[in-house]
Amino acid sequence: MFFNNVVREGGKVISPIQDLSEIPAKNAVFSDKYNHVWVINQKY
């Protein structure tokens, strides 16, 4: 999974993967090893 790979390579978790059942979707926030902040979302 992309999120786990980034963390394993030195990224830092800002907000862990959360299940947003009202949308329904999942999201997470992290920074990569270059301190860029990312928000990822996945609808299901």
CB count within 10 Å of CB 35 equals 8
Q: What is the pTM of this model?
A: 0.78
Per-residue pLDDT of 1-44, as tens digits, reads 788 898 899 999 999 999 999 999 999 999 998 999 999 999 98
Residue ranges per structural domain of the chain: 2-43
Alpha carbon 44 to its chain's center: 16
